[in-house]
Each structure stands twice: as C-alpha cells, then as structure tokens.
C-alpha cells in the first residue's frame, strides 16, 4: 500500500514538473463591426472557427479601426500584449502592417489581400469573384428589365473584379444585360447605400448586388421595393426571403487554421495564399425560391466547370467598356493581373472614380 502511494505521489510530482503547452495568442483587426453580417462578420466567423478547432489558441480582436495610423497603434498594442499572429483584415491596413512587421520580426502577420509581403508578413485571400460570376449568371437568367444594379465602396482591384465578374456572368447567359454602378466612397455608410439602392431601382434595375461591408441595407431596400437581390460576404437571405437569388460568401476558418498552424510548426511562408471555390474558401450561398430549379442547375453546372478548371472566369476575350480587347481569346489573366485590375468591362455603366 505504501509503495502504491509513493508511486502515485511520484507520478503527480512528475506531471506537475512537466512544461504546460503555451497557448498561441492570435489577434484580429476589423475595419467595421463584427456584427455587420458582411465582410467583418465573415472574418470574425473565421476567428471563431479558429478557436473551435485549435485548442492551443487564444484570440483577441478590435473592431471599427480605420485604415490609417490608428491601426498601427492597435497592432503595436497587440504585440506588446503577447499576440504572436496578427490578422489585419482590411484592404487599407497593408502598408501599416508592413511597418509594424518590420519592427517585430518574431511576430507573424497575415493580411487579407494585396500583393506585398515581407519576411514575416504574408497575404491570404480567395477568388470570390468566381462566386460573383456565378451570382451574375443567376441574375442574368432572372432579370426581366435586363438592368442590374451594383453598389460599390471604392474602385480598388478587389471591387472591380467583382463588378466585372458579376457582369460577365450575367452577360454569358443574357447578352442584353447591363450593370449600373453607384459608388458610395465608404465601406460602410447605410444612408448612402440605401439611397443608391433606391436610385438604381428607380432607374430600372430589378436585381441589386454590391461590394460594401454589409449587404443588409441594399438587400432590404430591394425586398421592400419588390426586386431581386444578390448577397455578398455572408448569407443575408433572412433579410430578403422573397427576392433573394443567391450570394457570394467567404469561408475563412480552414485557411486561418492552416496559417496559424504554419506559424506554430515553423512551416510559415511569406507568400500570397489564395483559396477559391475548389478549396471552399469562397462559395455560393443557398439559392432563394426566386431562382427556378432549371436556372439553379445552369449555375451549378457552370460552377462545376470552374472547379474542374474547364472554364475560367478571366479567360479571353475580356473587353473593356470602350470596346478595347484587354485579353485575347485563348489567353487567361494571371493572378497578379486580376489583383491589379483597373478597368470596367463591356456591359458596365458607370465610371471609375
């Protein structure tokens, strides 16, 4: 009996003396509220997925941080508090993140989008324009006026890709379709977004979509006015039960797990990590009842062709608004070319600002 007690005591002492695995602290920074049911919501869903799937991770986050020097101060605060992996999630954070990354070479930074890296800063993104193209197919098959409306924040490459992909998708099944664009000059301005939605509908658009942080405003206006809507960032179908067609949505969780794992096990790379429909980082939401089964199948067949690499969204011909052929038939735009996009395609009505 005494021997058994001594054995248990020795085992307890040994267990107590073993080092406890330290948690990796991971920080997230959002340009808007994580409750916007849009861009920031989708990023935060990735954070929650990370917490759920990695037991040795603790996360912190800051919301409503503007794309200026304020974000550098937030990143500095995170690093001083022990954050080892930082996710600056908004387009305008990149240059600020590069400055902070240079000061703290032992910390890993994963920025959402962009084409700049450093030894300890990588970028992650997904080709969600594939899903926007497919959403355009649904819109082109559904519209009765052949006029689509697009509410856009800023004319950066990521936004232009979505406007152009959406329009190319719609015109692939309905060559008479045009897309009218209204710029809000803000990632989040509910008043401007609602006004833009009202104006587009009054001008004849019967399908609305957009690239602002939250789809809720234009989706609700579309529903109230009795027209269709296509969502972006997250599934907002609950806000438009009658007019919802489909949405292009993010699925950041698995990619974020891979990034944090790479920081933990030493396999981190200074790279541009990109997901797509095939990896599941971008996907379509469920269809709404406004899309017929036949039209749903048309969209799904095109989706399968993209995933099988039998069809590419940016395969030529790609034609600009003025009729200039930018990509010849048989050629395909590269990742760098799409991520530097600075034009609007044929069928888009509106100008770059």
pLDDT digit string, tens, across residues 262-285: 999 999 999 999 999 999 999 999
Please tell me which residue, 20 or 208, carries the higher pLDDT value. 208
The predicted model gives 59-79 an average pLDDT of: 98
pLDDT digit string, tens, across residues 288-339: 999 999 999 999 999 999 999 999 999 999 999 999 999 999 999 999 999 9
pLDDT digit string, tens, across residues 94-148: 999 999 999 999 999 999 999 999 999 999 999 999 999 999 999 999 999 999 9
pTM (predicted TM-score): 0.91
Q: Is the pLDDT of residue 16 over 80?
A: no
What's the CA gap between 184 and 195, in Å, rounded? 10
DSSP string, 245-307: EEEEEE--HHHHHHHHHHHHHT----SEEEE-TTTTSEEE-PPPTTS-HHHHHHHHHHHHHHH
């Amino acid at each position: 009996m005494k021997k058994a007690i001594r054995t248990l005591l020795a085992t307890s002492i040994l267990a107590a003396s073993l080092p406890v695995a330290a948690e990796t602290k991971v920080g997230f920074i959002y340009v808007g509220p994580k409750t916007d049911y849009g861009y920031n919501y989708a990023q935060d869903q990735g954070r929650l997925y990370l917490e759920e799937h990695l037991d040795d991770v603790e996360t912190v986050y800051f919301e409503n941080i503007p794309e200026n020097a304020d974000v550098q101060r937030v990143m500095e605060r995170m690093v001083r508090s022990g954050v080892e992996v930082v996710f600056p999630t908004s387009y305008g954070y990149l240059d600020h993140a590069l400055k902070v990354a240079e000061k703290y070479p032992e910390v890993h930074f994963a920025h959402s989008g962009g084409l700049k890296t450093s030894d300890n800063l990588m970028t992650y993104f997904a080709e969600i324009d594939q899903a926007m193209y497919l959403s355009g197919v649904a819109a082109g098959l559904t519209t009765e006026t052949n006029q689509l409306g697009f509410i856009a924040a800023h004319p950066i490459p990521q936004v232009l890709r979505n406007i152009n992909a959406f329009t190319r998708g719609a015109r692939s099944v309905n060559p008479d379709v045009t897309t009218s664009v209204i710029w809000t000059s803000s990632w989040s301005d509910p008043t401007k977004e609602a006004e833009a939605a009202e104006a587009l509908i009054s001008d004849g658009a019967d399908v609305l979509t957009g690239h602002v942080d939250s789809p809720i405003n234009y989706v609700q206006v579309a529903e109230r006015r009795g027209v269709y809507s296509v969502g972006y960032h997250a599934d907002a179908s609950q806000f438009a039960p009658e007019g919802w067609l489909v949405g292009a949505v993010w699925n950041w969780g698995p990619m974020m797990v891979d990034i944090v794992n790479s920081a933990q096990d030493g396999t981190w790379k200074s790279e541009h990590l990109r997901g797509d429909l095939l990896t599941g980082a971008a996907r379509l939401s469920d269809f709404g009842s406004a899309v017929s089964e036949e039209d749903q199948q048309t969209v799904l067949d095109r989706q399968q062709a993209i995933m099988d690499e039998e069809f590419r969204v940016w395969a030529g011909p790609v034609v600009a608004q003025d009729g200039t052929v930018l990509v010849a038939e048989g050629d395909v735009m590269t990742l760098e070319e799409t991520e530097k996009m600075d034009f609007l395609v044929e069928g888009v009505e509106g100008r770059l600002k």
